[in-house]
Amino acid sequence: MADAPQSQTALPTVADVDAAAARLAGVALRTPLISSPVLDAAVGARVFLKAETLQRTGSFKFRGAYNKLSTIPAERRANGVVAYSSGNHAQGVAHAAQLLGMPAVIVMPSDAPRAKRERTAALGAEVVLYDRDREDRAAIARAIAEKRGAVLVPPFDDPLVIAGQGTAGREIAEDLAARGLTPDVAVVGASGGGLIAGIALAITARFPNVKFYSAEPEGFDDTARSFRSGQRETNARMSGTICDALMTNTPGVITFEINRRLVGEGVSASDDEVGRAVAFAFRELKLVVEPGGAIGLAALLAGKLDVKGKVVVGVLSGGNIDAALFHRLVA
């Protein structure tokens, strides 16, 4: 089921990303932009990967969550926040609420990785489980928020959330400029599209000619299909890939409006290709990356993009993976 659309909302701007960076200063980590001679040789390009696996809560989601929550007026904070997420937004919101002294309720699918469910609860949030294939998570969250007078924190289709994710792109642009480099290609994973929308806003403001691509799991390529049709498409299934973080079944209203202008093209990778990327990241980059966080790297390693001789940017967006699955993929 599609998340409820946001309507008549102003699109975030680069100024909003800059404002988010100010709010996040000293709170979010400035994660490194890493490179690897082995990776460069494998794809024939100069590749730089933003290691958001090292961010607070293990993913980029903390950026957007904290930016959103920090703007909630003091008089509204006692009633807390409600979010819905398969795990990374859940942890980001839970931790941001913890830091700001706010109660949090997180609606999570019952099949979410146990590590994500447990870590969300450990951060002080109340976890409410739902059936991903039969129930509407957004409707459940809205009902809880209305009953408690809490603020709803969408996982992607919100200007403040998008602007917060864009701070990762702002850092990428600054770090590349400091190296005297101009990116030719950027590939970023897409679920609802918040991360790639924010990053595209930030990077194209400084490097307007960079070519962006979304990356998605095979069978869950609603963003790429939406680019081709010109309207928001949906996936036939709600589950069925190891990329548990990338199973939102349609792009957001706000995110698609940004991404159709700044991105406009997408690629996909199979679960086997994603698994090989997770193993590559472990062996060659010495990083633990979850399948959804490795989707862009998977597309590069599988040759889905023509990047020969180019400067390429990617994002390792999360590292929250169950130990058993990680062992299976890297063993």
How confident is the model at residue 7, as a pLDDT?
44
Mean pLDDT, rounded, for 93-119: 93
Examine the pLDDT at 187 and tell me if it is beyond 60. Answer: yes
How confident is the model at residue 3, as a pLDDT?
53
Pairing of strands 81-84, 104-109: parallel
- Percent of the chain past pLDDT 70, that is, above it, reads 98
Instruction: Give me the phi and psi of 25, to 5 degrees please.
Output: -60, 125
Do 14-60+159-330 and 62-153 have matching folds?
yes
pLDDT tier for residue 217 given thresholds of 50, 70 and 90: very high
How confident is the model at residue 8, as a pLDDT?
57
pLDDT tier for residue 1 given thresholds of 50, 70 and 90: very low
Examine the pLDDT at 4 and tell me if it is beyond 50. Answer: no
Mean pLDDT, rounded, for 203-209: 98
Residue-range domain boundaries for the chain: 14-60+159-330, 62-153
Mean pLDDT, rounded, for 244-253: 93
Which of 316, 274, 258 has the alpha carbon at shortest distance from 88? 316
CATH code of the domain made up of 62-153: 3.40.50.1100
How confident is the model at residue 87, as a pLDDT?
85
How confident is the model at residue 143, as a pLDDT?
97
- Show Cβ contacts of residue 81 under 8 Å, excluding neighbours closer than 6 positions: 69, 72, 93, 97, 102, 103, 104, 105, 150, 151, 152, 153
- Percent of the chain past pLDDT 90, that is, above it, reads 91
- What is the average pLDDT score of the chain? 95
How confident is the model at residue 5, as a pLDDT?
44
How confident is the model at residue 112, as a pLDDT?
85
Examine the pLDDT at 97 and tell me if it is beyond 80. Answer: yes
Mean pLDDT, rounded, for 117-130: 95
Q: What CATH architecture is 14-60+159-330?
A: 3-Layer(aba) Sandwich (3.40)
How confident is the model at residue 6, as a pLDDT?
45
Distances (CA, A) of 38 to 29, 54, 86, 219: 26, 21, 33, 30
Pairing of strands 185-189, 211-217: parallel
